[in-house]
Amino acid sequence: MSKSIVVYYSQTGNTKKVAQAIHKGISQTGGQCDLARLKDVEPQELTGYDLIGLGSPSIHARELPNVTAFINHMELLDGKHAFSFCTHGVSPGFYISRTVSALISRGLIVIGWNDWFGAAWHPLLPKPYFTDGHPDEIDLKEAEDFGREMAERSRRIYQGETELIPTLPKGKEYDEIYRPIHEVPQHFQRLLNRVEFKINKDKCHYPKCTYCMDNCPTGAIDLSMDPPMFDRGCDLCWLCEQTCPSGAIEIDYEPLAREHVPLTEGDLMRSSKLFEAKGRFRRLVPLEDIGWDTNYWTFKKPRFKIDY
């Protein structure tokens, strides 16, 4: 009997829901399928699986370093099967190409990939946002079907139908599907370089509370240092600032928001319309309801609870 596992990393729960649906789909095909959070699995433990699914959000157009590190620490799994998936608020960007190449570099045969839109809780994006409401029931049904398809394809490839192994589109063809807008990451990167996380010691409950340290995907925070360390390997995913239970992590948002929102508005609008025209995006929030005038960063913190 074949053995599969779906491993996921999630911050606000979108990828978790998709991972659960994929797991449900694979389980329907009769084989054994495990579902696990990235932080609960040692990458070296994956040697016993015939099919490995790995998913996370696309953050700054790629996977977070904890996902990259997870793949790099896998044993060489020559000839075993894998698939990659992500959720995103605009498009996967480099996520699919980067993770597929990384999985192949571990000796895995990548038999598929997929992506879904997910509600975005980014301090510099409007609220309501284009993709709010996703993944919905229809998305999750698709994810379930994808899981079944992966299990079925894997079985057939193991039986010799190697022509079913897909080839990831490259260059322009890839960009058209997964990176319809290029400008955002560039200008965004310049802004990100200026973001500074500061800790308000009057609000911080360390050592009683270690929430930010425990949940930082790159282990970048060390509150035991004086001043607390916030930048060793920080990937600016904003999780700590958004979820600190006492709102002790602070950023000077005014200058960022002034530059970011007008630059981004046109790109996001264009991208959402493009995907809608291609039939890849089902709009659940009418365009006139997008909260361009709502500064999500001004919302009371914690802005959400981590949902792994």
Q: Which residues sit at the interface with ligand FMN, rule CB under 6 A? A: 10-16, 57-61, 87-91, 93, 118, 120, 122, 237-238
Instruction: Using alpha carbons, select from 95, 132, 136, 84 the residue that is nearest to residue 268.
Output: 132
Nearest approach, Cβ of 87 to ligand FMN (angstroms)?
A: 3
Closer by beta carbon to ligand FMN, 146 or else 238: 238
Closer by beta carbon to ligand FMN, 69 or else 195: 195
What does 8-72 look like in DSSP terms, one character per residue? E--SSSHHHHHHHHHHHHHHTTSSEEEEEEGGG--GGGGGG-SEEEEEEE-BTTB--HHHHHHHH
CA count, 13 A, side-chain hemisphere, 71 = 27
For the chain, what is the total number of helices (H) and then of strands (E)? 9, 7
Rounded to an integer, what distance in angstroms lies between the CA atom of residue 308 and that of residue 306?
6
Nearest approach, Cβ of 8 to ligand FMN (angstroms)?
A: 8
CA–CA–CA angle 35, 41, 45 (5° rounding): 100
Task: Write the CA distances from 86 to 13, 69, 94, 259, integer angstroms.
Answer: 12, 16, 11, 28
Nearest approach, Cβ of 60 to ligand FMN (angstroms)?
A: 5
Q: Which residue is nearest to ligand FMN (CB)?
A: 118
Nearest approach, Cβ of 21 to ligand FMN (angstroms)?
A: 13
Nearest approach, Cβ of 1 to ligand FMN (angstroms)?
A: 30
Closer by beta carbon to ligand FMN, 112 or else 118: 118
Instruction: Using alpha carbons, select from 293, 299, 291, 298 the residue that is nearest to residue 127.
Output: 291
Nearest approach, Cβ of 190 to ligand FMN (angstroms)?
A: 14
Rounded to an integer, what distance in angstroms lies between the CA atom of residue 258 and that of residue 256?
5
Closer by beta carbon to ligand FMN, 208 or else 300: 300
Nearest approach, Cβ of 261 to ligand FMN (angstroms)?
A: 15
Rounded to an integer, what distance in angstroms lies between the CA atom of residue 163 and that of residue 4?
21
Closer by beta carbon to ligand FMN, 81 or else 179: 179
Closer by beta carbon to ligand FMN, 151 or else 234: 234
Phi, psi of 185 (to 5 degrees): -55, -35
Closer by beta carbon to ligand FMN, 50 or else 57: 57
